[in-house]
Amino acid sequence: MKKTQVRLADGRELIYYDSRDDAVRDAADERPLDRTSTASEARFDPLLGEWIVVASHRQGRTYLPPADECPLCPSRDGRHSEIPAPDYEVAVFENRFPSLTGGPGPQTGEPPFVRAPGAGRCEVVCFTSDHDKSFADLTEDQARLVLDAWTDRTAELNALPGVEQVFCFENRGKEIGVTLGHPHGQIYAYPFTTPRTDRMLRSVREHKAAGGGNLFDELVAAELAAGDRVVMDTGHWTAFVPHAAHWPYEVHLYPKRRVPDLVALSDEARAEFGAVYLELLRRFDRIFGPDEPPTPYIAAWHQAPVRAPERPDFALHLELFTIRRTSGKLKFLAGSESAMDVFINDVPPEQAAARLREVASR
């Protein structure tokens, strides 16, 4: 993999990832851009014990532009985009409208009104220069290059001052809330451990204190032993619908050897990732039949926080899920889910797993 780092006209960093060592990425950003102005802060909720981010400058971000004005396509035919090169394989750049930005700063205010700078970093990951493709259309080699980019960014962002957790994810589909149709994902470097991860760590800690082993390992082993929710089981990866799935169709993908983050993945798991992940995404697109539009989904990498004491006990995994519950119908987060965090799932996990096995590639 070749990595080329350049600067955009407003000073933001852009990184090209190429499979060929002879790739040249020296096109300059010719847009007359001013420096990006952001206003982001974190506020602490003392009742829930978690931080939320206020980022009012994001109200003006680009929203569903026509394909010929896509800011994630290469710069061609006199049209300048976020990516100056006329073509690329994988490109990562600092978000022009970041939720988190800048270095760490002190907390201010007195309880219960504690706040802190919205420090961190937000990046956009373009999976391919082809506007009309999706991740599922990539080759195994292309998927591996994206994995290598995620891994490299995780290592770099983990090392930034004040960063506590790195989150790589993809939102796909207008139903999810995607505002740019080009195949892409994002990376957030948070200045705190996210609430969901904090709950996982607490469960791991309490299980161990009660005399149990590693909770992640035990859950994966139990799913494999039960078998009825297993979707794929390969040499280096296991994918299953969890016993208590929140979403209509939800798959958790774990490497066979527990590691805390993408950086620690084995070479063997990396080599097999493309085939496994592409097969899962293609199955998702076949769940509801050939006449349905592509399945909207969120794909979320859960990685260990940088400095958590439980970091060695955390298990890297990807959670892939859709809000489409049946043909033409979405699962909305209404009163129980949004107000009480109690999910009501319309599809039994065993039924979802059976369907995902049924639509396997032949």
73 is in an annotated binding site: yes
**122 assigned ligand-binding residue:** no
Question: Under the phi-then-psi rule, with left for phi > 0, alpha for psi from -120 to 50, and beta for the rest, what region is 328?
Answer: left
Stated as kind and residue range, the H or E segment containing 350 is helix 349-358
Task: Supply the residues annotated as catalytic.
Answer: 184
Asked if residue 182 belongs to a known ligand binding site, the reply is yes
What is the distance between the alpha carbons of residues 47 and 174, in angstroms, rounded to a whole number?
Answer: 33
The total number of residues shown for the chain amounts to 362
Q: Strand order of the sheet with strand 121-126? A: 2-7, 13-18, 90-94, 121-126, 184-190, 165-172, 297-302, 317-322, 249-255, 237-240, 230-233
Q: Dihedral angle at the C-alpha atoms of 352, 356, 358, 361, nearest 10 degrees?
A: 170
| Distance of alpha carbon 357 from alpha carbon 229, whole angstroms | 9
Gyration radius from the chain CA atoms:
21
- The three-class DSSP label of residue 23 is coil
Angle at 300 between CA 299 and CA 305, to 5 degrees: 170
State whether residue 224 is helix, strand or coil.
helix
CA distance 124 to 142: 17
Q: Annotated binding site, which residues?
A: 70, 73, 131, 182
Q: Annotated binding site for Zn(2+), which residues?
A: 70, 73, 131, 182
